[in-house]
Chain A
Amino acid sequence: MAGAHTQSTAPDTRADTDDTLLAVRAAEGDEDAFAVLVQRHAPALLRLATRLLGTAAEAEDAVQDAFLSAWRRLPEFQGRAAFGTWMYRIVTNRCLNVLRARRPVAPLEAAGEVPAAEHTVSPARITEGRDAVRELREALDLLSAEQRACWVLRELDGRSYEFVADAVGISQEAVRARVFRARRCLTQALGAWR
């Protein structure tokens, strides 16, 4: 489902160049330059973290931790990647750790035991759409940490398999397998809750 939808960090050469300068300054201890980078990248990274973790509070913590880690590691960063890409990777990893530390996910069978939505007759289309979105959001909790990360980066954020593999730190083949498993789990969950 990669497509034209908004990505978290738009490829903008001019902004990237400016980021590079700011990252160099921040690496040399200029905290004002770092503040500009935080302000510029925080909204997209928060959107990513919220998609990965599901709650705004956890997402804010993850993004805050990621930026602090970046501030500490900046002197060694030396611009090997664009700052935005580097941050995207740090946030993804941070969120993966949070997801892994959560209690084991409910087994797939449990999805069938979730109380059915109250209406059995087909309500207005719009309500149906909204319910499906809510169900999807809940179903994401059934995925393993890696499945969720791969699926969110690929299907919601529209990243390439290559990018996801790099961000999550596994092979492209492993990303494909996890995206498939996630899709299968999600279609089943949505079906079971109907």
Chain B
Amino acid sequence: MTAHTDPPNRASAHGDDERLPCGRLLSRAWEDREQRPDDTHPRSCPHCRDAVRELDRLESAVRGLRTEAADNPAYDAEPLTRRIMDVVRMELRPGRPLPLGEPAEDLWIMEAVAARTLRAAAETVTGVRAGSCRLLDAGPDGAAGAVGVRLDIHAPADAPLPELAAQVRERVWEAADHELGLVVAVVDIRVTDLVPAGTEHGQEGRTR
């Protein structure tokens, strides 16, 4: 690893450059070390040599600082994550309430909670990852209280998309009906990315 691959630091770019007793600018003495190895002046000039020696000392300390950080055991992010999530859970954004069950019943579920269940249902189809999941009013044609689901997915590139979409739609419908009791009029699916076969994302992001 070389330390000075930067384009020249022209003195005009920083008004506080320093003129060494030999007449050269400090910035030039530092640049020339890397960029003009054939220049004989720095080798014979004690001022330039001092300037370069100081920079070498700094760089060796910087390497030490990096090594020290690399030697430290991996940070346990668990306590900090817990602290952050404690505050986040006091500032939830649950979305709007959606009706559950029969029209006469006074039973609701928050949009974000329902969306989580539906995403998880979509992800039971092999290779599918779910992104945005919005629950919208089904519109004038829908049954009273029914919602429309609009779901974005990443699909495996080797799967036939119509079959895959049908499968995802089926799972979402099932989960809405059996797990939530939510009346779904329509499930719109948008494939927002195709993931090469065998490189499905890690599953740690699953929320259920």
Chain A residues near B (Cβ < 8 Å): 1-6, 14-15, 17-18, 20-22, 24-25, 28-36, 38-40, 42-43, 46-47, 51, 60, 63-64, 67-68, 71-72, 75, 129-130, 132-133, 135-137, 155-156, 161, 173, 176-177, 179-181, 183-184, 186-188, 190-191
Q: Which residues 120-135 of B sit at the A interface, judged by CB distance below 8 A?
A: 129-134
Instruction: Give CA–CA (A17, B134) in the complex, Å.
Output: 20
| Closest residue of B by beta carbon distance from A2 | B5
Is A21's CB under 8 angstroms from B199's CB?
no
Is B81's CB under 8 angstroms from A71's CB?
no
Instruction: Give CA–CA (A29, B65) in the complex, Å.
Output: 40
Is A46's CB under 8 angstroms from B77's CB?
yes
Is B62's CB under 8 angstroms from A155's CB?
yes
Is A173's CB under 8 angstroms from B69's CB?
no
16 additional contacts, CB 8 Å, given A67-B84, A132-B61?
A: A3-B1, A5-B66, A14-B202, A18-B201, A29-B111, A30-B207, A33-B207, A38-B85, A39-B77, A46-B77, A64-B87, A137-B65, A176-B7, A176-B14, A180-B14, A187-B54
Is B132's CB under 8 angstroms from A28's CB?
yes
Instruction: Give CA–CA (A59, B202) in the complex, Å.
Output: 29
Q: When A and B form their complex, what is the total count of cross-chain residue pairs whose Cβ atoms lie within 8 Å? A: 180
Is A24's CB under 8 angstroms from B9's CB?
no
Indicate the member of B57, B89, B111, B199 with the most A CB atoms within 10 Å.
Answer: B57
Instruction: Give CA–CA (A161, B7) in the complex, Å.
Output: 10
Which of B91-99, B141-149, B178-186 lies on the face that meets chain A?
B91-99
Is A18's CB under 8 angstroms from B205's CB?
yes
Residues of B with C-beta under 8 A to A181 = 14, 16
Asked if B60 is at the interface (CB within 8 A of a chain A CB), the reply is yes
Instruction: Give CA–CA (A38, B65) in the complex, Å.
Output: 26
Instruction: Give CA–CA (A173, B12) in the complex, Å.
Output: 10
Chain B residues near A (Cβ < 8 Å): 1-7, 9, 13-14, 16-18, 26-27, 30, 54-55, 57-62, 64-66, 68-70, 74-75, 77-78, 80-81, 83-85, 87-89, 91-95, 111-112, 115-116, 119, 129-134, 152, 154, 193, 195, 199, 201-202, 204-205, 207
Can you spell out 9 A-B residue pairs with CB atoms less than 8 angstroms apart? A5-B70, A17-B193, A20-B131, A25-B133, A28-B134, A33-B205, A135-B61, A155-B62, A177-B13
**Contact A34-B88, Cβ < 8 Å, known A132-B61, A176-B6, A183-B55:** yes
Instruction: Give CA–CA (A38, B26) in the complex, Å.
Output: 44
Is A31's CB under 8 angstroms from B60's CB?
no
The 7 closest A-B pairs by CB, nearest first: A29-B112, A3-B1, A42-B77, A133-B64, A177-B14, A29-B93, A132-B61
Residues of B with C-beta under 8 A to A177 = 9, 13-14
Is A21's CB under 8 angstroms from B13's CB?
no
Is B84's CB under 8 angstroms from A25's CB?
no
Residues of B with C-beta under 8 A to A32 = 116, 207
Residues of B with C-beta under 8 A to A36 = 204-205, 207
Is A46's CB under 8 angstroms from B80's CB?
yes
Is B9's CB under 8 angstroms from A17's CB?
no
Is B205's CB under 8 angstroms from A68's CB?
no
Whole-angstrom distance between the Cβ of A23 and the nearest chain B Cβ:
9
| Closest residue of A by beta carbon distance from B9 | A180
Other-chain residue from B58, B92, B116, B193 in contact with A187 (beta carbon distance below 8 A): B58
